[in-house]
């Protein structure tokens, strides 16, 4: 009996462990928040460059903005009116302008083809941005359907994104709704070839983490890499945690000592697939796993991560020591994480010190910032030595210990700090 009980216990434990490794979260679709963002389809006058499926004669090709702030940023120099609109939008949404520099969309406009056949309105979205409506999903709206305005169709866009680190694509969900009217000046045209596109579809759901309920709130606006401080873009929370994370496919986030990665998001079935990685303790103590965050996800080799700020006077001697160290040991990666109150101070800090390595801008909002909160940084200067496996080998705080730590690495090397018991 004891042997059988032990076997059953092992099976139960193994099953629980397997379940913990992957979570499928069922998300309940929320209605698009129209007051946040929806866009009107503007007719394209020159359509010769678009590839249209055969057999379609009467159609309209229109375009609409995916990220209006990015569009305003890219066009602010055109005239005074656009500059004023850009400045007003920046002030209204409290957007830090450095985000436009760090993260750029190749495409800020989405092309849509619409045509009518036998009372059915058809809509084709250029989801891959190749100026072609061939081999795309076709959405249809029955114009005689009494529940027409309650119907929403969802699809995905693969938006090319350029950043300082790399060029990639982001997959975002959008909502498509029929629009029975179109505006031409002051006139309304009924039953027009017009649709409404929403790029702020929201989904909510939850999963169980160590017998505690963790809520997921996913907003598609986040996928355009514009983080608005006044809005909830993607977050996890429970009664003990208030963890705000920019949720993007492939991102890793932490709940207590567990780290999860967002593996897949099925907009049609409204399911989010989370994978719990190995149960390493995440934190900033010796032996802990150094959590992945945007722009700190690709550490390779031995790395020194320096938490500082332009306002920190005791940090200057540490920076000077790092600059001298970098000249002698360029093979060791150095990264600054600067907690700053404004963009101007950050730019002046870079120019005044002529820093040759990567510097991350950690904007302060309500006395908190993303990177300092993620790594539990309460004071600066603070310096971390990270090994190729993202393990914290050593950390030092305050000016003199940090400077002494740099000298110790210079004399002994990084390998002497390795941890043998993990």
* In the chain, domain spans: 23-29+202-276, 38-198, 303-417
Region of poorest pLDDT, from 38-47, 63-72, 79-88, 115-124? 38-47
Query: Can you give the pLDDT at residue 383?
Result: 97
Distance, CA of 45 to CA of 41 (rounded, Å): 13
- Lowest pLDDT segment from 90-104, 151-165, 198-212, 360-374: 198-212
Asked if 376 contacts 290 with a C-beta cutoff of 8 angstroms, the reply is: no
Q: State residue 245's pLDDT score.
A: 47
HEC per residue, 287-348: CCECCCCCCCCCCCCCEEEEEECCCCCCHHHHHHHHHHHHHHCCCCEEEEEEEECCHHHHHH
* pLDDT above 60 for 197: yes
Q: Name residues whose C-beta falls within 8 Å of residue 52's C-beta, 6 or more positions apart in sequence.
A: 59, 61, 113, 133, 134
Report residue 336 as tokens. Answer: 């600054």
CATH 3.40.30.10, domain 303-417, yes or no: yes
Most confident stretch, 97-106, 146-155, 410-419: 410-419
* Per-residue exposure over 379-407, b if at least 16 CB sit within 10 Å of its own CB, e if not: ebbbbbbbbeebbbbbbbbebebbbebbe
Which of 115-129, 267-281, 390-404 ranks highest by mean pLDDT?
Answer: 390-404
- When mean pLDDT is compared across 12-26, 131-145, 297-311, the lowest value belongs to 12-26
**pLDDT value, residue 190:** 44
The tally of CA atoms less than 13 A away on the side-chain side of residue 410 is: 14
CA distances from 44 to 59, 346, 402, 410 (A): 11, 41, 59, 62
Q: Indicate if the pLDDT at residue 412 is higher than 90.
A: yes
Residue pLDDT, tens place only, 356-390: 999 999 988 767 788 887 887 888 999 999 999 88
Q: What is the rounded average pLDDT of the residues 168-176?
A: 74
- Kindly tell me if the per-residue pLDDT of 398 is higher than 70: yes
Select the more confidently predicted residue: 94 or 227. 94
**Contact present, 270 and 282 (Cβ < 8 Å):** no
pLDDT at 202 over 50: yes
Query: What's the token pair of residue 389?
Result: 């496996």
Question: pLDDT tens, 305-338?
Answer: 999 999 999 999 999 999 999 999 999 999 999 9
Judged against a pLDDT cut of 50, whether residue 258 lies above it is answered with: yes
143, 118 Cβ separation under 8 angstroms: no
The two counts, helices (H) then strands (E), for the chain are 8, 24
What's the pTM value of the predicted model, to 2 decimals? 0.49
d(CA 332, CA 151): 56
- In this structure, are residues 195 and 61 in contact, taking their beta carbons and an 8 Å threshold? no
With 70 as the cut, is the pLDDT of residue 224 above it?
no
* Dihedrals phi, psi of 410, to nearest 5 degrees: -60, -40
Q: What is the DSSP letter of 196?
A: E
The full DSSP string for 106-140 is: S--EEEEEEEEETTEEEEEE-TT-SSB-TT--EEE
Rama region for 97: left / alpha / beta (φ>0; ψ in -120 to 50; rest): alpha
In the chain, the percentage of residues whose pLDDT exceeds 90 is 25
Going by their DSSP bridges, the two strands 303-308 and 333-340 should be labelled as parallel
pLDDT tier for residue 230 given thresholds of 50, 70 and 90 = very low
| Contact by Cβ (8 Å): 254, 374 | yes
Q: Which of 68-77, 94-103, 150-159, 184-193 has the lowest mean pLDDT?
A: 184-193
């Amino acid at each position: 009996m004891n042997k059988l009980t032990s076997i059953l216990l092992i099976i139960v434990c193994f099953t629980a462990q397997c379940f913990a490794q992957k979570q499928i979260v069922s998300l309940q679709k929320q209605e698009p928040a129209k007051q946040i963002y929806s866009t009107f389809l503007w007719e394209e006058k020159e359509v010769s460059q678009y590839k249209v499926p055969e057999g379609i004669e009467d159609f309209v090709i229109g375009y609409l903005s995916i990220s209006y702030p990015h569009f305003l940023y890219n066009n602010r120099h055109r005239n005074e009116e656009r500059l004023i609109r850009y400045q007003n939008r920046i002030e209204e949404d409290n957007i830090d302008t450095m985000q436009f520099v760090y993260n750029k969309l190749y495409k800020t406009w989405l092309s849509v083809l619409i045509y009518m056949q036998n009372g059915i309105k058809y809509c084709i979205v250029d989801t891959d941005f190749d100026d072609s409506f061939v081999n795309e999903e076709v959405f249809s709206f029955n114009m005689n359907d009494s529940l027409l305005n309650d119907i929403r169709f969802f699809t995905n866009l693969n938006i090319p994104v350029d950043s300082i680190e790399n060029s990639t694509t982001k997959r975002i969900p959008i909502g498509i709704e029929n629009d029975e009217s179109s505006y031409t000046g002051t006139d309304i045209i009924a039953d027009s070839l017009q649709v409404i596109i929403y790029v702020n579809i929201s989904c909510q759901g939850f999963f169980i983490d160590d017998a505690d309920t963790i809520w997921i709130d996913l907003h598609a606006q986040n996928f355009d890499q514009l983080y608005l401080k006044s809005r909830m873009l993607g977050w996890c929370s429970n009664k003990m945690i208030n963890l705000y994370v920019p949720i993007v496919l492939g991102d890793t986030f932490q709940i207590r000592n567990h780290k999860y990665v967002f593996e897949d998001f099925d907009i049609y079935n409204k399911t989010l697939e989370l994978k719990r990685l190995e149960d390493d303790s995440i934190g900033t103590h010796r032996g802990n796993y150094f959590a992945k965050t945007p722009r700190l996800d690709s550490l390779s080799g031995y790395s020194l991560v320096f938490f500082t700020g332009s306002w920190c006077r005791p940090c200057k001697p540490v920076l000077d020591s790092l600059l001298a160290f970098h000249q002698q040991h360029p093979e060791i990666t150095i990264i600054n994480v600067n907690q700053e109150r404004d963009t101007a101070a950050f730019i002046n800090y870079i120019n005044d010190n002529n820093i040759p390595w990567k510097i991350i801008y950690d904007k302060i909002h309500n006395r908190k910032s993303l990177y300092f909160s993620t790594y539990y940084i309460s004071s600066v200067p603070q310096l971390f030595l990270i090994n190729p496996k993202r393990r914290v080998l050593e950390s030092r705080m305050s000016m003199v210990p940090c400077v002494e730590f740099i000298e110790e690495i210079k004399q002994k090397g990084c390998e002497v700090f390795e941890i043998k018991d993990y």
